[in-house]
Structure 1
Amino acid sequence: MEYKNSMGSRIQVREIKRKSLFPTLFSKLLTLYLSILVVTFIFFFAIFSNAFQKYYVDYTENIMIKQAKLIASEYQEVGSMKQSLQKTLERVFLRVEVLDSYLDATTWIVDRDYNMVVASGKQDSMMMDRKLANPEVIQEVFKGNVISQQTGFEQYFATPVLTVGYPIILGNQIEYALFIHTPMPQIQKIIDEVRDILMKAVFITTSIIFVLIYFMSKQMTKPLKQMNQIAKKIANGDFEKRVSIDGEDEISQLGSSLNYMAGELDKIEANRKSFIANVSHDMRSPLTSIQGFVTAILDGTIPPEKHEKYLRIVLNESQRMIKMTNDILELNKMEEGNLPLKKMEFDIHEMIRDLLDNFEQVTKEKEVKVNVILDKKDQMVFADPEKIARVVQNLLDNAFKFVNKQGTIEVETVAKQHKIWVYIRNSGPAIPEEEQKNIWERFYKADLSRGKDKKGMGIGLVIVKETMKQHNEELGIISKEGEMVTFYFTLSKI
């Protein structure tokens, strides 16, 4: 872009646009969903993995304690059932072998002097009759406690072990301490296998969800892309394009709003073209008359004694053009908020009576009957008197314009709580329902208006609408076949 500094020199300024890491809504949605998915799976994987590890260690420990209890019960039967020690040891060794095979465990039985009585597994020959160097742990078992720990016997094993200690009672005295050792790597191996299975399941699930997220994001952003393209076409003046609506979600509602906007813009554009055509027609008629009369006066076609008559016609046509121009300018200022209200107290009934006097000529020409039904003689209201006078004038002008010959005009006021309702009615043709909402549009002018009146441009009711909108008052129309057409508005009474 190019600018001038205070010295008049031209300065070139280049706009720098930062490239976004995620330039499209699709990439943002996809990244967001995938980030949530990955973080969620990592979080639950970590929790499940730690929970399973604790569960499996506790599960193995419970099995070891249960087996230790069974082995201890075999020794107890020696005293209670008079069984031989040899048979008892046979059953103990058989159970120890099963335990060693199932858990890859090592089983020790230690006497009260800390000497090894039974040692299974690879250490049976090395550990037999050997005195153990862990008196604190052994003493704890001989006190009658069941222990479970993952430390204390490192010097006897190449890898960490899970150890369970259980007292063996013969008679009423603890004679032996039973220790079962299971290698922690064996336990960890099972845990790692479960983690691998879980990781594969997570990977497969993530892949499936990724595909679903990808197509879901595509499906969500597809109508938005279409809306973007159609919005650009609407911006270029192509109001006939519409968005395909499928569903009732927020995106579909946005598409419906875009279609509604396109329809309204199309209608406004049509009314604008009609307005321009109407203005051109209304302006051309007085200009043609002015040009014709002035030319005729200048070239002598119109004799001097008739100059005054035709100059008055030229003056009237000029005044009509000025009124048209002033109406357009006033409407623009009202819509832009450049015409502030000047509210004060005034008598609305007196205003209505004064304005009705302006229609005495048309009343006689159309042989119209005028009924005035006022709530009371005087009624003070608080509003902008100049603008309200314009409202009443425009509504009366509209009523006299469309009233049928020998018809009826009725003006009524009704007091309701803190409001005064003003009704202006006229007999004659009803306004079709489809046109009732259009008569308030800026560029709308029904063909009926052009056929009956050549003096207006169809913006009188728009000025009425904008004025009542500024006053925050109600304005409406009631028109049914066979009934009088009624325009009404409200004012705040004093």
Structure 2
Amino acid sequence: MMATPGRPSQLRPWAGIRGRLAGTYFLLVAVTVLLISVALLTAVRQYYLDNIRDILDQQAGLAAQFYQSYLGKNPLVQEAPDLAAAFSATTAAAVQVLDSSGRVLADSTAASDRPNLSSAPDVARALAGKAATYSGSTARGEPYLAVAAPLAVDGTVQGAIRFVTSLAPLEALLGRLAGRLALLGILLILVMTAVGFVLAHTIVEPVQELTGVARRIAGGDLTVRARRHFHDEIGTLAETLNYMAAELARLDQLKKEFVSSVSHELRTPLTAIRGWAVSLKEGSVDPAYQEQGLTIIAAESERLTGLVEELLDFSRLEAGKLTLRRGRVALPPLLQSTVAEMQPRARRLGLTLTLDVPPALPEVNADPARLRQVLVNLLDNALKFTPTGGTVRVFAGLDAPEGRLTFGVADTGPGFTSEELARLGRRFAPGSRPGAGSGLGLALVKEILALHGGELKAESAPGQGATVRCTLPLDGMAPSTDV
């Protein structure tokens, strides 16, 4: 079943962690029980077989020695019944006495038939003069173990004595043991599978809770928080999710403040333009009044255009499409021309605008239009907040050990608070003082410098002015392609 795009898929009962963990426990315990049971049954069977074989070997050897010492003077066919009867009384096995051709001369089971067993492997070896053991099955499928030993007199093999015991009791014992092991194994498998389910529950429940929290956050509820059940990886994940929700809530609030600030900045020039347009439409004949209105409309239109351009740049920045047109840039002429453009505004505000730039600075690989945008934004802020009679200084210099070029603006304005310094250049972070604007300018400055491989730094204290520095790499530290 395919998941619906955009929505989490529903897990089948055995497809999740609970099912996999319980299944793993089941397979692990089942394989372990099976291997242990097979090993145990094999060891028990071999132990009993070895014991039975040793006993039969001893009895066969004793019978052969007894025959050689006490009965070997008489023909084997004469002593065979007594020999079989004597040793059958000391063992639970059947005793067979065979002549040198392999024909049964006596059988303690009182069987009427006297087959020839010379083809039996143990009998053949015994008639060849060596004791032997053989295990097999009867025609009826009953397992047995046979031990045969040669009956010799003066080194001549007269026949063989054979002890045969049924292994059916041993197989029955092993069957009962296998049944008990199977029962114990099933019980152990059930217990361990249950343990697996319980252990999986301690994992799945927090994960399911985190899933629910994540879905609520995705639905727009940024106040929900996940509980930390244990001090483990899942607990760390819960804390990370809570941190993400808090950051999203903070960014959401910043965006709301940003929208409010931008709306206010757009409304101010639009209101001025509309007001003067209405006044001029009413047909005032005073040329000075008309000139004043047209000047204000032009200025506010330019201000509005600048704000819209900043919004467009910010949009490109958010989409990762802010483009740099690089080239070799000499910084002093760029700073001089920008300061010259801002001088009339500085004089109108009663401020002293100075330029402090060394005569020779290395060129940088940069976008001159974007660097001018950086300087204009910095000067705009400095001129806006420096009180009448104050000084605004544009400076530049070379940091040779670091291989970087520095330029910036210093003013004698009110400076920044520690909180303002901390959020300087952040996206969606409007200033806190009256007339501070939307904060778009410094956010763009920071990102433009970052695209050049540079940094934005500020030094300030309340009431002691502010110094904002921009750094640029001199060579290949800056990316060589458009971003």
TM-score grouping bracket, smaller chain normalisation? 0.7 to 0.9
Counterpart of 1:475 (choices 446, 455, 471) is 455
Cα distance, 1:413–1:249 mapped onto 2, change above 3 Å: farther
1:360 counterpart residue number? 343
2:327 counterpart residue number? 344
Cα distance, 1:236–1:75 mapped onto 2, change above 3 Å: closer
One-letter amino acid of the structure 2 residue matched with residue 140 of structure 1: R
> Which range is displaced more, 79-88 or 217-226?
79-88
CA distance in 1, matches of 2:63, 2:361: 120
**1:283: how far off?**
2.3
2:241 counterpart residue number? 258
2:470 counterpart residue number? 488
2:59 counterpart residue number? 71
The DSSP-based 3-state class of the residue aligned with 1:238 is coil
2:442 counterpart residue number? 461
Alignment of structure 1 residues 215-254 onto 2, 5 Å: 215-247=198-230, 249-254=232-237
One-letter amino acid of the structure 2 residue matched with residue 114 of structure 1: G
Counterpart of 2:429 (choices 430, 444, 449) is 444
Alignment of structure 1 residues 12-411 onto 2, 5 Å: 23-24=11-12, 27-75=15-63, 78=66, 92-93=87-88, 95-96=90-91, 100=92, 105-114=93-102, 116=104, 119-120=107-108, 123=109, 125-126=110-111, 130=114, 132-137=116-121, 138-151=123-136, 154-155=138-139, 159-167=142-150, 172=155, 177-247=160-230, 249-299=232-282, 303=286, 305-361=288-344, 365=349, 370=354, 372=356, 374=358, 377-402=360-385, 406=390, 409=393, 411=395
The DSSP-based 3-state class of the residue aligned with 1:447 is coil
Contact 1:422 1:490 in 2 (8 A): yes
Cα distance, 1:108–1:33 mapped onto 2, change above 3 Å: farther
Contact 1:431 1:485 in 2 (8 A): no
TM-score, structure 1 normalization: 0.77
CA distance in 2, matches of 1:331, 1:492: 26
CA distance in 1, matches of 2:371, 2:148: 103
**1:360: how far off?**
3.2
**1:415: how far off?**
4.1
CA distance in 1, matches of 2:391, 2:157: 125
Contact 2:355 2:393 in 1 (8 A): yes
Contact 1:399 1:409 in 2 (8 A): no
**1:239: how far off?**
1.1
**1:234: how far off?**
1.9
Structure 2 unaligned runs (5+)? 74-78, 477-483
One-letter amino acid of the structure 2 residue matched with residue 63 of structure 1: N
CA distance in 2, matches of 1:253, 1:63: 61
The DSSP-based 3-state class of the residue aligned with 2:145 is strand
Cα distance, 1:476–1:91 mapped onto 2, change above 3 Å: farther
Cα distance, 1:430–1:296 mapped onto 2, change above 3 Å: closer
CA distance in 2, matches of 1:431, 1:175: 121
One-letter amino acid of the structure 2 residue matched with residue 490 of structure 1: L
Deviations along 1:44-88, one digit per CA (max 9) or x if unpaired, are 455445444543443233212211232244346648998999999
CA distance in 1, matches of 2:400, 2:214: 47
Cα distance, 1:298–1:355 mapped onto 2, change above 3 Å: closer
Contact 1:167 1:174 in 2 (8 A): yes
The DSSP-based 3-state class of the residue aligned with 1:150 is strand
1:6 counterpart residue number? none
Identical aligned pairs, as a percentage?
Answer: 18
Contact 2:328 2:365 in 1 (8 A): yes
CA distance in 2, matches of 1:111, 1:287: 131
**1:444: how far off?**
0.9
One-letter amino acid of the structure 1 residue matched with residue 318 of structure 2: E
Contact 2:132 2:148 in 1 (8 A): yes
Is 1:420 the counterpart of 2:404? The answer is yes
The DSSP-based 3-state class of the residue aligned with 1:126 is coil
Contact 1:26 1:217 in 2 (8 A): no
Deviations along 1:226-279, one digit per CA (max 9) or x if unpaired, are 233222322332211122233454444443332232222211111111012112
**1:346: how far off?**
1.6
The DSSP-based 3-state class of the residue aligned with 2:428 is coil
Aligned residues: 460
**1:481: how far off?**
4.9
CA distance in 2, matches of 1:317, 1:240: 41
CA RMSD between the two structures: 4.1
**1:377: how far off?**
0.6
TM-score, structure 2 normalization: 0.79
CA distance in 2, matches of 1:114, 1:203: 51
The DSSP-based 3-state class of the residue aligned with 1:195 is helix
Structure 1 unaligned runs (5+)? 1-14
One-letter amino acid of the structure 1 residue matched with residue 397 of structure 2: T
1:3 counterpart residue number? none
**1:332: how far off?**
0.7
Deviations along 1:383-408, one digit per CA (max 9) or x if unpaired, are 22211221232234344545576466
CA distance in 1, matches of 2:378, 2:9: 60
CA distance in 2, matches of 1:403, 1:167: 124
CA distance in 2, matches of 1:361, 1:342: 29
One-letter amino acid of the structure 2 residue matched with residue 493 of structure 1: D
Contact 1:74 1:88 in 2 (8 A): no
Contact 1:418 1:493 in 2 (8 A): no
CA distance in 2, matches of 1:478, 1:118: 116
Cα distance, 1:136–1:84 mapped onto 2, change above 3 Å: closer
